[in-house]
Amino acid sequence: MNFQPVHDNILVRQPEGTASVLQCEVLSVGPGRIDAGGTFRKVYVEVGDVILFHLGDTTKFMLDGKPYLLLSYPDVCGVSKSST
């Protein structure tokens, strides 16, 4: 898979289940976003981290025949950092 999110978007494999808050491993992450004040805001998750996030405002799509979700950094509720 060759997909690089832009801004503060995060790519995860679509999880099974329909709970409003889900857990997934981060596959790819954008660099961050410039806020209204002109300050660059870094995304503090990395590939391999496991995140807990709100399902509400995600984008579902297929890539190479597999389901993925694209979500925005503000939808992340928590992070379990990878050990690598």
Count of CB atoms situated within 10 Å of the CB of 3: 12
Q: Which domains does the chain have, with CATH numbers?
A: 9-80 (2.30.33.40)
Determine the 3-state secondary structure of 46 from DSSP.
Answer: coil
**Predicted local distance difference test score (pLDDT) of residue 84:** 58
CA atoms within 13 A on the CB side of 40: 6
Average pLDDT over residues 28-33: 95
Instruction: State pTM to two decimals.
Output: 0.87
